Structure 1
Amino acid sequence: MNSKVRTTHLERRAVVYLRQSTPTQVEFHRESTERQYALADRALTLGWDKSQIEVLDSDLGKSGQTTTGREDFHQLMAAVGLGEVGAVLALEASRFSRSQADWHKLLDICALTDTLVIDHDGIYDPNDFNDRVILGFKGTWSHTELHGMRLRLQGAKLNKAKKGELRCSPPTGYVYDPEGKLVLDPDEGVVAAIQLAFQQFRALGTAFKVMRYFCVNQIPFPRRRWRPGDIGTLHWGPANLSRITALLHNPTYTGTYVYGRRRSFNVIEGGQITKVKTQLLPQEEWKVVIHNAHEAYISWEEYLSNCERLRQNSPISLSDGCPGTPREGFALLQGLVICGKCGRRMSPRYHGTGGCRAAYECSQARKQDGSMGVCWTVAGAAIDTAVAEQVLEAFTSEQLDISLAVLSELENQAFEIDKTWQLRLERARYDCAFADFDAVKGINGFISKG
């Protein structure tokens, strides 16, 4: 093994890379941290001078699933790419990365710059075929190990949820008793506020009117927080539209234990995972549904009726900068107009007989504090006309000719593709007929010989 360490390697730095996935592991799994620091001593025994050994430990407590936020890993890759490093040392492949793509990228750069990879098992030269195979297997095994751990943890979590025993942060109006069962909040004011919200939705029919009822009558709305350092504390504040809507959409208030209502997915921008978004799943895709699991505020039938009414009330989606799907109406810029005062999206409003006049109105502030006025409103006719003129002017005669030429070319390509398939079909029919002819000919020959 030591014969792989040549003078050209010893003339460059040896970099020891340390990483553990979470701060908890760093705090409680200290043996692993000590073993990683001990790799510096191994570099000494292999021939590197102490002044040439660099330890990178700023990535302790950071996940290896991605390189985002791992400054030391980027520093390591840059130094290797510049040919400044003779060897990189880590306890195992998973310390460098849990992603096969990042692992093989590191191996490729090490091969180009003749940099050794050293772990607790041995010394590997990425330019040596056998060593490269072993390193590739180590990266694959690290990725597989992570996948296996995730499956086991998720399986155990789902199994516990199927028995209704998996505890999650309860919605406002519920708490866990000493035995771990979900019960109504012991604060009668909290229970009364939740019951009042459902009662007003039955009478008023929209979440916005329920929110307005609480705000106009200055009725505070409760909220229990379950975040670290603020577990179970009760806060009272003004009702807003999002809290009322979440209340009406939550099946827990029907006495039903539900698990798996949401699905998370990564948002990739610029080749990196920038954030994780959550998507609500349709009811038929919920993983666990156990009715009559605890005391209810409303019935399951009323919950389904509330969801259907909310769906019918739903306007264009104005969240996350998405214009949403336009509803009925002739306004040209539905969901696209931005308020010049507050920067929120404006929604169309129709006036006159049969809704013949359109206007764009910014009323997003009302959804937050129930205020009576609107931020800004403007007639839509002049805006729609100006936009239509600008769009039509953008299409010059030359651009239209080019568009028609492209369309003609696409039609020709489609014709050629269809012609190719027709020829293949004709060939297949010919082969089938020829095969049938040979079969009949063979049978006749066999009969004549008989």
Structure 2
Amino acid sequence: MRYRNVISVLKNPFYAGAYVYGKSGKQMAIVDGRARKSYKHPKPFDEWDVLLREHHEGYIDWAEFERNQKQLAANAYGKAGDVKSGRGGRALLAGLFACARCGRRLFVAYTGRIPQPVYRCARFDMPPQCMSFGGSRIDAAIGKELLPVVEPMAIEAARQAEQMHMDTLTEQRRIVKLELQQAQYEATLAERRYAACDPDNRLKQGGSRILPVGLP
């Protein structure tokens, strides 16, 4: 499932049991001296043409839907304020820097024959960029300060991982032992049933003697 598919579901009021009409509108702009219309511009909740809450049974209630929209808006990159989640890539501080001028999160670009991270703030309404700087030196400096802090936690995490591994092996051995005991019990029970049969009926019970597990 793609990211845009998940987001489209989370932003759809139908998911919260609501019927909505008129979520987007048109805007007018003067381009080269002419008026031009553009469509599908999202409207705020209070400007939707129709909003019928509890129209049908939803997966979540409306209050949770509103909380989700606020969280999604806060997570959006390129907007000032709020805490953003870390992002992928080689840069250590991707998604964690904010521009001191406009407050937007810096994005990371990789340049050079051997790609190196560059932190940039690009505001579309304020050309050129607010700021831009190489990330290699600052990543190295932060990493140097970070390692002594996380080293004790890393040792403890490794110890816990080893303990979990040993616990898993112990549980696996216990399960194998129980399965062996069950097999031995079933073999012994079959032997007893065979021995309890009338000799004239033993051919009907299998025709051959059943030996317990472990016997030649």
Superposition TM-score tier, normalisation by shorter sequence: 0.5 to 0.7
Supply the RMSD in Å over aligned alpha carbons. Answer: 4.6
What are the superposed Cα offsets for residues 428-449 of structure 1, whole Å, 9 maximum, x if unpaired?
222222233234334455727x
Paired residues, number: 170
The 5 A counterparts of 1:254-265 are 264=60
Q: Is the 8 A contact 1:335 1:346 kept in 2?
A: yes
Match of 1:334 among 79, 89, 94: 94
Alignment CA distance shift 1:443-1:376 (3 Å): farther
The 5 A counterparts of 1:12-411 are 168-172=20-24, 221=38, 264=60, 276-277=67-68, 318=77, 321-323=83-85, 325-326=87-88, 329-353=89-113, 356-363=115-122, 365-366=123-124, 369=125, 371-396=126-151, 402-411=156-165
What are the superposed Cα offsets for residues 366-416 of structure 1, whole Å, 9 maximum, x if unpaired?
2xx4x43223222211111112111222245x6665455434433332222
Give the TM-score, by structure 2 length: 0.55
Gaps of 5+ in 2: 1-13, 51-55, 70-74, 203-216
Q: Is the 8 A contact 1:264 1:277 kept in 2?
A: no
**Matched residues in 2 for 1:379 and 1:224: separation?**
36
Gaps of 5+ in 1: 1-153, 159-165, 174-189, 194-213, 233-259, 268-272, 279-315
**Matched residues in 2 for 1:384 and 1:414: separation?**
38
**Matched residues in 2 for 1:215 and 1:374: separation?**
26
Q: Is the 8 A contact 1:264 1:276 kept in 2?
A: no
Who is 1:3 aligned against? none
**Matched residues in 1 for 2:66 and 2:155: separation?**
43
Who is 1:418 aligned against? 172
Who is 2:11 aligned against? none
Alignment CA distance shift 1:169-1:340 (3 Å): same
1:421, CA displacement in angstroms? Answer: 1.3
**Matched residues in 2 for 1:358 and 1:382: separation?**
10
Equivalent residue letter for 1:391: L
**Matched residues in 2 for 1:351 and 1:386: separation?**
20
**Matched residues in 2 for 1:274 and 1:432: separation?**
56
- Which structure is higher in helix share? 1
What are the superposed Cα offsets for residues 92-147 of structure 1, whole Å, 9 maximum, x if unpaired?
xxxxxxxxxxxxxxxxxxxxxxxxxxxxxxxxxxxxxxxxxxxxxxxxxxxxxxxx
What are the superposed Cα offsets for residues 262-299 of structure 1, whole Å, 9 maximum, x if unpaired?
964689xxxxx796325xxxxxxxxxxxxxxxxxxxxx
Give the TM-score, by structure 1 length: 0.30
**Matched residues in 2 for 1:334 and 1:215: separation?**
38
1:216, CA displacement in angstroms? Answer: 8.0
Residue 438 of structure 1 aligns to a residue whose secondary structure is helix
Identity of aligned residues (%): 16
Residue 67 of structure 2 aligns to a residue whose secondary structure is strand
Q: Which has the higher contact order (CA 8 A, sep 6+)?
A: 2
